[in-house]
Amino acid sequence: MVTQGRVLRGAALAAALVLGVSACGSSDSGSPDGGAGNTPAALEGVGPISFVTGKDLSGNLQNQIDEWNKSHPDQQATLIELPEDADAQRQQFVQNAQTQSDAYTVLNLDVIWTAEFAANQWVEQLPESEFPLDKLLPTTVETAKYFDKLYGVPVDSDGGLLYYRKDLLDAAGLTPPTTWAELTDACGKIQPTNPGLQCYAGQFEKYEGLTVNFSEAVNSAGGVVVGEDGKPNVNTPEAKKGLDFLVEGVKSGQIPAAARTYKEEEGRRAFQAGELLFHRQWPYQYAKASATDGSSQVAGKFAVAPLPGLDGPGASTLGGHNYAVSKFAKNKKSAVDFIKFLVGEDQQRANLEKTSKAPTWAALYDDPALVEKFPYLVELKKSIEKAEKRPAVVKYQEVSTAIQSAVYDAMGGTTSSEDALKSLQGKLEELTKQ
Amino acid sequence: MSTTLDPTPQEVSTSPAAAKDRAWWWWLPYAGIGLIVLYCLSPFYWMLVSSLRRTNDIFADSPVPTPFSIENYTAAFADNNGFLRALLNSFLVAGITTVLVLLIGTLTAYALARLDFRGKNVVLGIVMITSMFPTISLLVPLLELFSSIGWINTYQAMIVPSMSFALPLAVWNLTTFFRQMPTELEEAAQIDGCTPAQAFRKVILPLAAPGVFTTAIITFIAAWNEFIIALSVVNEKGLKTAPVIISQFTGEYGRDTPFGAQMAAGVIVTIPLVILVLLFQRRIVAGLTAGGVK
Amino acid sequence: MSTTTEAPPTPSPPPPRQSRRAGAGRLAAALVTPTMLVLALVVAYPVLAAFRLAFYQKKDGIDPETGLLEQGETFVGLENFTDMLVGDAGDRFRNALFNTTSFTVVAVSIEVVLGVLMALVMHRAFKGRALVRAAILVPWAVPTAIAGLLWRWIFQADGVVNKVLDLETPILWTTDGFQAWVAVVIADTWKTAPFIGLLVLAGLQVISNEVYEAAKLDGASPWKTFWAITLPLVKPTLLVAVLFRILDTLRMFDLPFTLIGPGKDATDTITVIAYEEAVKFGKYGPASAYSVFLFLYVAVVAFVFVKLLGADVLGTRAGKKGR
């Protein structure tokens, strides 16, 4: 029985660890700082920091960090790179917060995570006066706020654009559609003479992209998903018209059945193969589809326009990233200075040139040299200025999953759009009640 | 039992009589072999082809990459990726894991197969129970534990969990193999003056080599490919393993999937394993026939 | 391996039963301890922690002024378990349980057949055998995450599979439905049949050649030789391989998650929904309840498996081998 004795002792040891570690875990959970107003507690501490982000796309980030390190020898920044996949990034950020580790200082967060990270007090409230917020596109700054307080500084943005086949529209004597009806008409005119050409696609696989596309459809029909007051309101005629654009599109074949498997890249494949007349897509597709090395069939044949809507131009959903400061980090003052450094005009310009990520610095969109290099900037600025952010709710992940579920089923024809919205409204109310 | 363990016991169509009788289906085994190889390799072939396209051609579906390009491989090994270093780390982690698992797994399996003690099945049961919990639920408590004992950014934080994932199968499998070995040989060796440990090492271990070797392959591959623990316990670039680095491959613009580079990386991490196995396999077979107990 | 030298040398004349057993017990304890320590460090604490969490829920009240979440957790008794069974969550859970089970039954069955075939092929003597062995190993060696991406690419709407099938309307493999389930089974059997093949091959290699020669002399057909000799002799190894495949498949996560994506009724497994609850929603209580349930389910399956076929898995030593 020696063996069992040992095992029991081992179990006792393990049990002791459970108690010990969970005690550590809960002792320092930190209480809200008395619900102070808009002036956060001063962020202190100067010294080495880490900068945690998805992979450095161009190597430019390391240049920026080197530049910072040269002028701040006592506050060296190190780069910590996370997986490419956004969910995997979020998982690492959350785990870091749950173990209250000080390994991460400055976090590069997707705009949709702001509410969750702020409400859980995983990131610090930031002093607005420290940052040049008035120089940034106002909608992007909104994505960094939760309950009217600033929890991050927007560093890059993203907005949806309507990619269209300019060659085909020109040949038919049409201008890019500003309404869904015009879009349908254009397809009706052009498709008969172009066999194999599909009308419209976006991102309709069951993932975050579907939430983006659904929100755009609802907003573009004059509806809301979650209102200004933080209350969901999807069981409305406007929202139904938005959803119907997608549901009826699949039913009539205006949206090809295969589009229900499309994330960004699958749709890009179809557009570049010349199989799509209209495509709702992010700016990144512009350069890829313009490639003249034979990989794109549509190079030089397409252009971009604002997304169409029910009665006029629609509204895009905002993407992008904000820099935030981890609650559990040391050297938070250095972190604030570092963020200030990174969101400055020069750094954003360099970043745009190297990675073609949409900046948040408003003036860059009007810079002739940049517009020449990135022709879509003009339309993109309009798109971002008019764009709606996704619901700023703590349980965003659950809200988004509920939306995806409802919309995916409605587009698959297993539920009617009415029933889908009605049950979605119920679920969202449950998830956002306070 | 004469134990030459000829690795080729079933010759394809051996006796002339059999050959005459079954002439009409002599090709069947070969067709089967062909089918199985096709089944195993065609997805891998697609991986190889995809990795040899230009980045912009990732959507192409020609069966041969045209134009042919190694830009995915050069991209994978670009300096700022640290992929070479990551491969080295993977070798270290997987190698140490395998050696330790074989060492302590063999000890435990020996006890379970050869020693007469109560609670054997309890031990086997406990060992198996540990591979019944979803890894994802172990992650956060494990992270808390490792940060409290200062194991974040260490090799052991990757090695020890990999060991614990591999040990159950290793113990069970080795136990089965040792049990199948005849005890008479060991007893004979003991009569010749060997201790039980020596008898085990010199007689049983070589006989069970195919089992030990297979356990080693499986452990090595599992440790080599382990991702989520390695991703979570290490954030220092110099310590990251290959699967972690691969997950960080990105396209040019952030939203484009670096499919070609990922497939290239997949090829790069798969080929060494296959070569390793081929090399080892030869040695094992050779060792068996040379050192077999007659 | 020399660590066992302190073992008491067993004297040739059998000593009294009692003391021999005690000596063996001490030695056994020494030999088993390292394994147990490693398992205790990595698995025991997290499992205990997960069991504890299954009875708690995170507070989720929001301060209406600041929007900040209440901190801490409350003990909720069995609520996480009862929640699992009712309403939407209940439907989702039963569906996931069904998928988990059907994947395991179907995929493991196919893998056993394919794996044994592979082992027999690898065991044969012919030119180029080494290359065939290497080829069969390839799927098992490809990292799971990469394999998921690869198969997603292969199964996409205008992917290779649809090109090869060349149907009027291409099958949308990754949309929710039976075809997604089939895609996962195909990818999973591809990936893991070699695992069974490897282990069975090792089992074949330790079978003495004499057995086959004897069978040949008796004029047994290859078919009969396989059923009457080969299969019984590799059965212990095969059973261990199958047992561990069952344990793994019941916890299947990567392929449904990367190949099809979470949230699809046809392929969500219990581990996938536990992952969503924990990692995505931060609801560790319900997630732990799913994990604990899965743990118990796996334990029961393993127990039944061992009980039904156990003579060979846990069997007393010696027993079957080529003598």
CA distance C250 to C99: 9
- pLDDT (average), residues C277-301: 91
Collect all residues of chain C within an 8 Å Cβ-Cβ radius of residue A21: 45, 49
Q: For B35-58, write each residue's pLDDT tens digit.
A: 889 999 999 999 999 999 988 888
**Cα–Cα distance list, C257 to B186, C105, C159, C184 (Å):** 49, 19, 19, 10
CA distance B24 to A192: 57
**Residue A347 φ/ψ region, left for φ over 0, alpha for ψ in the -120 to 50 degree band, beta for the rest:** alpha
Nearest CA-CA distance, residue A7 and chain C, Å: 7
CA distance B163 to B168: 9
**Does B108 contact C32 at a Cβ distance shorter than 8 Å?**
yes
pLDDT over 70, % of chain C? 89
For chain B positions 87-126, those within 8 Å of chain C (CB to CB) are 103-108, 110-118, 121, 123-124, 126
In 3D space, the residue among A13, A21, A208 whose CA is nearest the CA of residue A98 turns out to be A21
Quick one: closest CA in C to A113, which residue?
C280
Collect all residues of chain C within an 8 Å Cβ-Cβ radius of residue A85: none
Nearest CA-CA distance, residue C281 and chain A, Å: 6
Q: Which class is A49-158+319-386 in CATH?
A: alpha beta
**Does A121 contact C37 at a Cβ distance shorter than 8 Å?**
no
Of C48, C158, C280, nearest to A14 by CB-CB distance is C48
CA distance A431 to A405: 14
Looking at the complex, does the CB of residue A35 fall below 8 Å from at least one CB of chain C?
yes
Q: Which SS3 state, helix, strand or coil, does residue B171 take?
A: helix
Q: Which SS3 state, helix, strand or coil, does residue C157 take?
A: coil
Identify any residues that bridge with A304 across adjacent strands, giving them in sequence order.
A163
Look at residue C13 and tell me whether its pLDDT is greater than 70: no
The correct CATH number of A161-317+395-432 out of 2.120.10.60, 3.40.190.10, 3.90.1150.10, 3.40.50.1240 is 3.40.190.10
Using the structure block, give the residue that is written with the tokens 């000890």: B107
Looking at the complex, does the CB of residue B130 fall below 8 Å from at least one CB of chain C?
yes
Collect all residues of chain A within an 8 Å Cβ-Cβ radius of residue B126: 7
Look at residue C319 and tell me whether its pLDDT is greater than 60: no
CA distance B21 to A357: 72
Looking at the complex, does the CB of residue B138 fall below 8 Å from at least one CB of chain A?
no
CA distance B149 to B155: 14
A249: number of Cβ within 10 Å:
23
- pLDDT (average), residues C155-163: 90
Give alpha helix (H) positions in B115-182: 120-129, 135-148, 156-180
Using the structure block, give the residue that is written with the tokens 């020890």: B160
The answer to which of A54-63, B178-187, C66-75 has the lowest mean pLDDT is A54-63
pLDDT of residue C64: 83
CA distance A172 to A167: 9
pLDDT of residue B199: 83
**Cα–Cα distance list, C140 to A80, B49, B90, C196 (Å):** 31, 19, 17, 10
What is the rounded (10 degree) CA torsion for B138, B139, B141, B143?
A: 150
CA distance C238 to C258: 29
Looking at the complex, does the CB of residue C19 fall below 8 Å from at least one CB of chain B?
no
What domains appear along chain B, each with residue ranges and CATH number? Answer: 82-248 (1.10.3720.10)
ipTM of the complex in this document: 0.84
Contact partners of B by the rule of 3+ C-beta pairs under 8 A?
A: A, C
- pLDDT (average), residues B128-146: 86
Q: What residue type is assigned to position B265 of the chain?
A: A
Residue C293 makes CB contacts below 8 A (sequence gap 6+) with C81, C84, C270
In 3D space, the residue among C283, B231, C273, B144 whose CA is nearest the CA of residue A120 turns out to be C283
Looking at the complex, does the CB of residue B19 fall below 8 Å from at least one CB of chain C?
no
Helix (H) / strand (E) containing C222: helix C222-225
Contact partners of A by the rule of 3+ C-beta pairs under 8 A?
A: B, C
Residue A175 makes CB contacts below 8 A (sequence gap 6+) with A169
Report yes or no: B105 and C25 within 8 Å, Cβ to Cβ.
no
Segments of chain A with pLDDT less than 50: 1-36
Of A21, A84, A355, nearest to B249 by CB-CB distance is A84
Residues A283-306: b if buried by 16+ CB within 10 A, e if exposed: bbbbebbbbeeebbebeebbbbbb
Nearest CA-CA distance, residue B51 and chain C, Å: 11
**With helix as H, strand as E and coil as C, how does chain A read?**
CHHHHHHHHHHHHHHHHHHHHHHHHHHCCCCCCCCCCCCCCCCCCCCCEEEEEECCCCCHHHHHHHHHHHHCCCCCEEEEEECCCHHHHHHHHHHHHHCCCCCCCEEEEEHHHHHHHHHCCCECCCCHHHCCHHHECHHHHHCCEECCEECCEEEEEECCEEEEEHHHHHHCCCCCCCEHHHHHHHHHHHHHHCCCCEEEECCCCCCHHHHHHHHHHHHHCCCCCECCCCCECCCCHHHHHHHHHHHHHHHHCCCCHHHHHCCHHHHHHHHHCCCEEEEEECCCHHHHHCCCCCCCCCCCCEEEECCEECCCECCCECEEEEEEEECCCCCHHHHHHHHHHHHCHHHHHHHHHHHCCEECEHHHHHCHHHHHHCCCHHHHHHHHHHCECCCCCCCHHHHHHHHHHHHHHHHHCCCCHHHHHHHHHHHHHHHHCC
Residues C237-258: b if buried by 16+ CB within 10 A, e if exposed: bbbbbbbbbbbbbbbbbbbbbb
Q: For C109-158, write each residue's pLDDT tens digit.
A: 999 999 999 898 888 777 777 788 888 889 998 988 889 989 999 999 98
pLDDT of residue B292: 40
B292: number of Cβ within 10 Å:
15
Collect all residues of chain C within an 8 Å Cβ-Cβ radius of residue B116: 20-21, 24
Q: Which SS3 state, helix, strand or coil, does residue B165 take?
A: helix
For chain B positions 223-282, those within 8 Å of chain C (CB to CB) are 224-225, 227, 243, 246-247, 259, 262-263, 265-266, 269-270, 273-274, 277-278, 281-282
Q: For C247-267, write each residue's pLDDT tens digit.
A: 999 999 999 999 999 999 999
Quick one: closest CA in C to B122, which residue?
C314
pLDDT over 70, % of chain B? 87
pLDDT of residue C37: 92
**Residue C61 φ/ψ region, left for φ over 0, alpha for ψ in the -120 to 50 degree band, beta for the rest:** beta
pLDDT of residue A174: 95
Interface with A, mutate which of C33, C45, C92, C253 (most A CBs under 10 A): C45
Q: What is the pTM of this model?
A: 0.87
**Does A83 contact B247 at a Cβ distance shorter than 8 Å?**
yes
What is the rounded (10 degree) CA torsion for A368, A373, A374, A379?
A: 30
Residue C196 makes CB contacts below 8 A (sequence gap 6+) with C111, C112, C114, C115, C116, C118, C119, C238, C241, C242, C245
On whether the C83-313 domain is CATH 3.40.190.80, my answer is no
Domain ranges of chain A: 49-158+319-386, 161-317+395-432
Q: What residue type is assigned to position A157 of the chain?
A: S
Same fold, A49-158+319-386 and A161-317+395-432: yes
CA of residue C271 relative to chain centroid, distance: 13
Quick one: closest CA in C to A396, which residue?
C281
Nearest CA-CA distance, residue C208 and chain B, Å: 6
CA distance A360 to A115: 20
pLDDT of residue A355: 79
CA distance C19 to B45: 61
pLDDT of residue C20: 55
Of residues C282 and A199, more confidence is placed in: A199
CA distance A264 to A83: 18
Q: How confident is the model at residue C19 (pLDDT cuts 50, 70, 90)?
A: low
Q: How confident is the model at residue C25 (pLDDT cuts 50, 70, 90)?
A: confident
Of B140, B235, B249, nearest to A98 by CB-CB distance is B140
CA distance A147 to A228: 11
**Does A14 contact C28 at a Cβ distance shorter than 8 Å?**
no
CA distance B247 to B265: 10
Domain ranges of chain C: 83-313
Report yes or no: A283 and A358 within 8 Å, Cβ to Cβ.
yes
Token output for A425: 């409204």
Report yes or no: C60 and A116 within 8 Å, Cβ to Cβ.
no
For strands A145-146 and A149-150, give the pairing: antiparallel
For chain C positions 258-287, those within 8 Å of chain B (CB to CB) are 270-271, 274-275, 278-279, 284, 287
**Does C72 contact A3 at a Cβ distance shorter than 8 Å?**
no
Residues C286-306: b if buried by 16+ CB within 10 A, e if exposed: bbbbbbbbbbebbbebbeebb
Interface with C, mutate which of A2, A394, A395 (most C CBs under 10 A): A2
Looking at the complex, does the CB of residue B250 fall below 8 Å from at least one CB of chain A?
yes
Token output for A13: 């040891």
Beta strands in chain C (DSSP E): 56-58, 73-75
Of B137, B141, B243, nearest to C143 by CB-CB distance is B243
**Does B40 contact C10 at a Cβ distance shorter than 8 Å?**
no
Report yes or no: B150 and B258 within 8 Å, Cβ to Cβ.
no
Looking at the complex, does the CB of residue C41 fall below 8 Å from at least one CB of chain B?
yes
What is the average pLDDT score of chain B? 83
pLDDT of residue A25: 37
